[in-house]
Structure 1
Amino acid sequence: MASNFKLKRWQDQVILLLGLWLLVSPWALSYPAGSPQRLNAFVSGLVIAILAAFDLYKTYFWAVAVNLLVGVWVAAAPWVLRLAEQRIAMWNELLVGIAVVVLALWELRTDPELHRHWLGVAA
C-alpha cells in the first residue's frame, strides 16, 4: 500500500519540492529586497507547498486545481509584474510555473481518485 501511495502521489511530491524551492529562491537567487517578484515568489511558493502537502495527505480536486492556477500565475508573473528584465528570476519562475502546471494537469488526467471527486462535483 505504501508503494502505491508513492507511485500515485509522485506529482504532489515534486510539486511540493517546487513550491519549497520557489519559497526560498528569492534568497538563493538574490532577488532584489522588497521587490514584487520576491514577495510573489515567497507567497506563491508557500501556497504551492501547502496545497501539495495537503494533497499528499488527502486528495482534493480543488487543491490540485488551485495549484494549477498558481502555476499559471507564477509562469506569467514576470511579464504581468513587468519584471522580465531580471533574467534569473524570470527563468526561475517561468520554469517552476510551467513544471507545476504540467504536473498538476498530469495528476488531474491520471489520478482516478481525482476523477471521482470531479464527477462528484459535476453531479
Structure 2
Amino acid sequence: MAMHLPIRRWQDQAILLLGLWLFVSPWVMGYPSDSTPAVNAYMAGALMVALAAFDLYKTYIWAVIVNIVVGAWVAVSPWLVGVVGDRAMSASMLVVGLAAVGLGLWEMRTDPDLHQQWVGT
C-alpha cells in the first residue's frame, strides 16, 4: 500500500499544501493575527492540514467530506469575513476553497477505499 501512496493520495498531499498556504496567507498578505480574516484562515487552514495529514495515514470518507465542507466555507468566506475588497486575499481564499472542494470530490470519485466506505461494502 505504501508503494501506491503518492499516486492514490496525491489529492490529500495537494490539500495539505493548500491548507498550509491558507494558514500562512494572512501573514504574507499583512493581516493582523487577531483579525477575523486571519483567524478564519488559521482555523480553516489548520483543519485542512490536519484532515489531509490524517487522510494520508488512513483514508476515511468522513475526513474527505469534512475537507470538502471546509473548502466550500473557505471559498465563500471572503464575503463573510470582510475581505471581498482585498482582491489578493479574496482570490487566494476562493482558489484554495474551490481547489480543496474539487480535489476532495476527485478523490471520492477515484479512490477505491472511499468507494467501499461510501457504499458500505
Place the TM-score, normalised by the shorter chain, in its bin. Answer: over 0.9
Structure 1 stretches of at least 4 aligned residues deviating more than 3 Å after TM superposition: none
SS of the residue 2:19 aligns to: helix
Q: How large is the RMSD of aligned CA atoms in angstroms? A: 1.3
Identity of aligned residues (%): 54
CA distance in 2, matches of 1:82, 1:26: 13
Would the aligned equivalents of 1:72 and 1:98 in 2 still touch at CA under 8 Å? yes
CA distance in 2, matches of 1:119, 1:21: 33
CA distance in 1, matches of 2:103, 2:36: 26
Would the aligned equivalents of 1:31 and 1:38 in 2 still touch at CA under 8 Å? yes
Question: What runs of 5+ residues in structure 1 fail to find an aligned partner?
Answer: none
TM-score, length of structure 2 as denominator length: 0.94
Would the aligned equivalents of 1:31 and 1:89 in 2 still touch at CA under 8 Å? no
SS of the residue 2:82 aligns to: coil
Q: Provide, for residues 18-56 of structure 1, a one-character-per-residue CA deviation record: whole Å limited to 9, x for no partner.
A: 111111111112124422111000100000000000000
Q: How many residues align?
A: 121
Query: CA 1:32–1:85 in structure 2 vs 1: closer, same or farther (change >3 Å)?
Result: farther
Q: Compare 29-38 and 100-109 and name the one that shifted more.
A: 29-38
CA distance in 1, matches of 2:66, 2:29: 26
What's the counterpart of residue 5 of structure 2?
A: 5
What's the counterpart of residue 111 of structure 2?
A: 111
